[in-house]
Structure formats: C-alpha cells, structure tokens
Amino acid sequence: MTLNRRTLTTAIAAASLGALLPAAALAQKKIVLGFSQVGAESEWRTANTESIKSAAKDAGIELKFSDAQQKQENQIKAIRSFIAQKVDVIAFSPVVESGWETVLREAKAAKIPVVLTDRSVNTKDDTLYVSFMGSDFIEEGRKAGRWLVEKMKDQKGEVNIVELQGTVGSAPAIDRKKGFEEIIKADPKFKIIRSQTGDFTRAKGKEVMEAFLKADGKKINVLYAHNDDMAIGAIQAIEEAGMKPAKDITIISIDAVKGAFEAMIAGKLNVSVECSPLLGPQLMSAVKDIKAGKTLPKRIVTEETIFPMEVAAQEFPKRKY
Ligand code: AHR
C-alpha cells in the first residue's frame, strides 16, 4: 500500500491520540493471566490444562501458561517471571502446600492479585491470595471411606488396606488421607497395613503396588489410591501378579476420569470419587471479576459425587474428561 501525505498525517494523528487516551486504550486491552500448572502427571491434570487453555481463549484472556513439571522451584520461578512481566492476575495450582509466603508476598507488593486453583497453600496470612477455587479433598477422602465402610459392613475379620498416596506434601495427598482415616477409624477391623506415595502417576502406582504385593500378597483386601492414574497402574501390577482386580482386591480411587470409567466397565475398579478438573471457566470469570473490582468469595468449592462400578456404563457417555 502506498501512503499519500494525507493518509500519513491521519495515521500519525491517530497514533498520538492513542497515546493520549490510555484509559480508552486500556478498556480495549486484553487481560493477561499468568498460570503456573503443576505438570502433566495424570489424566486429570491434562483435562485441567485443557480446560484452562480453552476457557482463556473463549473469554478473550491472554494466557501465559507455564508447566512446572511437578517441581515447586519451577512454580516459584514462573510466578516471579509473571511478576516481572506485570501480568494482570496470577493463578496457580500449588504442587505442595507449604513454602509459598515469600513469593506470594512479592506478588502482593507488586499489587498483582493471586488466585489459587485446585490445590491450596497453608500460609497463615490469607491476604496473600484473593480466592481459592477447587475440590474439598477431605470430603473426597471421606466419601471413599464411607463407600468402603458400607461395602464391608457384613465382613467379620480384619480388612487390610494398602494406600497409594499422592505427591508428598500436596494438599490432595494430605487431605484425602485425613478424610479417609477419619471415617474408617470408627471400626477397628479396618487397618491400613501399608501406605506409600505413588506421586499421582501410573508408573509409580504400578511400581509401588508391585512392592506391596511382594510384601503382603494375598493379605491385601483393599487398595485405596489417591487418584485414578495410580489405581490404573496398580491394576496392571495386580493382574501381573495373577490376581483379579476389583474381586481379589477391592479398589477405590479418586478423580472419575474416563480411564477410571473404562476400568470400572471392564470390572477392574470398584469405585471412583469424583474430582472435577474443569476449573477453567470459573477461573476466567473470577479473573474478569477481579479486574472489574468485584470481591470474590475466599473459597469456591466444586460440587462432586461418587461413581461405583455399577453405574459406570450408564454414566460414561456423559463424562467430559
Ligand atoms: O490436585 C488434584 C489431583 O492432582 C488429582 O486428583 C490428581 O489426579 C492430580 O494429579
């Protein structure tokens, strides 16, 4: 395109007008959200990442996404980089609960609001973040415990449980253990005979279950896995040991991802407690509310249910993750 003098003058005038009208220009400016994700350790996490990315796109929010590969130091680095880039809002799902005060204080000093999604932090100062949205992990553990107590109500002797814990120090690992124990302690026949982390991954779930089977084999009556991926890994280990998952060993897990439904339909997993990863739309509307100066609730709890294997085939077509 060739510019004549008149178009050039008009273009320069428009450009200087833009510089003189920061308020109007700002109204058009996209909101920038910095999001630090835990990693890609599970089917749940993949669905959560997808939910955040697509919701940001739908909401017209510019997303700066960073994958921490399950390392807290990477999350801290990402948050510091978001601060340096002066993003409008920072959101993150903290890999572990503790050790966030310093970086959260830095965000506060930079006047950048922080939203916690999925997992919480255990800071004493709750002014360091605006809102925490996600599941009630203690309640998820309780749901798993209640299902087991009901299932085994007529069982006389001991019920030996092995537990595959999530990532050490993470909110879901701490809380799901707590909620489950709170329920089963009412009856001394329930005994957790082994409990170890499988880091929320299939590979680790399989590896740790192999070790449990080597040590206790037929003594094991129940497996309680803090997520579906570890349960699916453990199912492989149980089959390779010549036992029948969901029959020889009752298996309870958490998340209710599609992989768990497939396992339930195949008769290999007894029950999965729902934990929804679809937090993207809620996060984007929170980000917009913050920018509009609205006050958000400090805690937004996701509503969830529980799916025993008997309903899996009927529920499967409705599942979104
Ligand atoms: O924080 C949510 C948990 O993290 C999910 O249960 C698990 O699958 C994920 O990795």
Indicate whether 316 pLDDT > 80.
yes
The reply to whether ligand 1 has any atom less than 6 angstroms from the CB of 118 is yes
**CA gap 172, 164 in Å, rounded:** 12
Q: What pLDDT, on the 0 to 100 scale, is given for residue 319?
A: 96
Q: Ligand 1 mean position to 42 CA, how many Å?
A: 7
Per-residue pLDDT tens for 88-104?
Answer: 999 999 999 999 999 99
The reply to whether ligand 1 has any atom less than 6 angstroms from the CB of 41 is yes
The reply to whether domains 30-135+277-302 and 137-275 share a CATH topology is: yes
Per-residue pLDDT tens for 283-296?
Answer: 999 999 999 999 99
Indicate whether 23 pLDDT > 70.
no
Sequence ranges of the domains in the chain: 30-135+277-302, 137-275
The reply to whether ligand 1 has any atom less than 6 angstroms from the CB of 206 is no
Q: What is the pTM of this model?
A: 0.91
Indicate whether 13 pLDDT > 80.
no
Per-residue pLDDT tens for 159-217?
Answer: 999 999 999 999 999 999 999 999 999 999 999 999 999 999 999 999 999 999 999 99
Q: What is the DSSP string of 226-258?
A: SSHHHHHHHHHHHHHTT--BTTTBEEEEEE--H
DSSP 110: T
Q: Ligand 1 mean position to 258 CA, how many Å?
A: 14
Ligand 1 test: best mutation among 41, 70, 180, 200, most atoms within 8 Å of CB? 200
Q: How confident is the model at residue 8 (pLDDT cuts 50, 70, 90)?
A: very low
Q: How confident is the model at residue 25 (pLDDT cuts 50, 70, 90)?
A: low
> Which secondary-structure segment (H or E) carries 5?
helix 5-20
**CA gap 9, 242 in Å, rounded:** 82
The reply to whether ligand 1 has any atom less than 6 angstroms from the CB of 37 is no
Whose structure tokens read 């709750």?
Answer: 126
Q: Which residues contact 251 (CB under 8 A, 6 or more apart)?
A: 222, 223, 225, 231, 234, 235, 245, 268, 269, 270, 271
Q: What pLDDT, on the 0 to 100 scale, is given for residue 24?
A: 56
The proportion of the chain whose per-residue pLDDT surpasses 90, expressed as a percent, equals: 91
The reply to whether ligand 1 has any atom less than 6 angstroms from the CB of 43 is no
Q: What pLDDT, on the 0 to 100 scale, is given for residue 15?
A: 45
CB 91 within 8 A of CB 117: yes
Ligand 1 test: best mutation among 121, 275, 278, most atoms within 8 Å of CB? 275
Query: Residues 203, 133, 92, 195: what is their CA dihedral angle, to the nearest 10 degrees?
Result: -30
Per-residue pLDDT tens for 60-76?
Answer: 999 999 999 999 999 99
Ligand 1 test: best mutation among 227, 253, 321, most atoms within 8 Å of CB? 227
**CA gap 297, 302 in Å, rounded:** 13
- Mean pLDDT, rounded, for 111-119: 98
The reply to whether ligand 1 has any atom less than 6 angstroms from the CB of 100 is no
Q: How many CB atoms lie within 10 A of CB 19?
A: 8
CATH number assigned to the domain covering 30-135+277-302: 3.40.50.2300
Closest CA to 173 of 207, 224, 132: 224
Q: Are strands 159-165 and 190-197 parallel, antiparallel or unpaired?
A: parallel
Closest CA to 260 of 243, 277, 279: 277
The reply to whether ligand 1 has any atom less than 6 angstroms from the CB of 257 is no
CB 284 within 8 A of CB 56: yes
Closest CA to 223 of 265, 252, 245: 252
DSSP 30: P
Per-residue pLDDT tens for 203-247?
Answer: 999 999 999 999 999 999 999 999 999 999 999 999 999 999 999
Per-residue pLDDT tens for 38-59?
Answer: 999 999 999 999 999 999 999 9
Indicate whether 114 pLDDT > 90.
yes
Residue positions counted in the chain: 321
The reply to whether ligand 1 has any atom less than 6 angstroms from the CB of 45 is yes
Q: What pLDDT, on the 0 to 100 scale, is given for residue 9?
A: 43
Q: What pLDDT, on the 0 to 100 scale, is given for residue 74?
A: 98
Classify domain 137-275 at the CATH superfamily level.
Answer: Response regulator (3.40.50.2300)
Indicate whether 2 pLDDT > 70.
no
Q: Which of 19-23, 27-31, 189-193, 227-231 is least confident?
A: 19-23
